[in-house]
Amino acid sequence: MSFISRADRGIDAFVDQSRPAANMNNEQIRASIIAAHSRGVKLRCITEITSSNIESCKQLLEIVDELRHLDGIAGSFYVSNKECLVPVLVHEKGKPASQIIFWNVKGAVKQQQYVFETLWNKAISAQQKIKGIEQG
């Protein structure tokens, strides 16, 4: 939550399919995301949208600026214009990671932003994926 509160321009999240539900069910994280959004922080997220997390993804769409889908996501990372967080261990369903790597080295943050942009450009809109799931 400190990471979210320090962001001043944007936060990009690349998260596995279990994270939308975990984040939407955690009131502190949800409130931090909403507060960041209300102070002008642009929030973008890439996740794997499936029939099992579609409702959480719809809720996430209400509080982020953009949500996109990418098949086969494993692992997660979060990057702002100043910092990056990478959970070290695979998330247990519904629980936060037990260890996280944090860095704020400018060159390393820029490199992670590039990785996110590359994945963002390969991802499809959440609305398109949700429509496809709902239509079978």
Tell me the CA distances in angstroms from 85 to 42, 46, 58, one per residue in order: 17, 15, 24
Closest CA to 29 of 54, 58, 59, 50: 59
AA identity, residue 54:
I
- pLDDT tens digits, the chain, 136 residues: what are they? 889 999 999 999 999 888 766 666 678 888 888 899 899 999 999 999 999 999 989 988 988 999 999 999 988 899 999 999 998 765 555 566 678 899 999 999 999 999 999 999 999 999 999 999 999 8
Domain housing 56: 2-134
| pTM across the whole model | 0.89
- The CATH number linked to 16 is 3.30.870.10
Question: What total of structural domains would you count in the chain?
Answer: 1
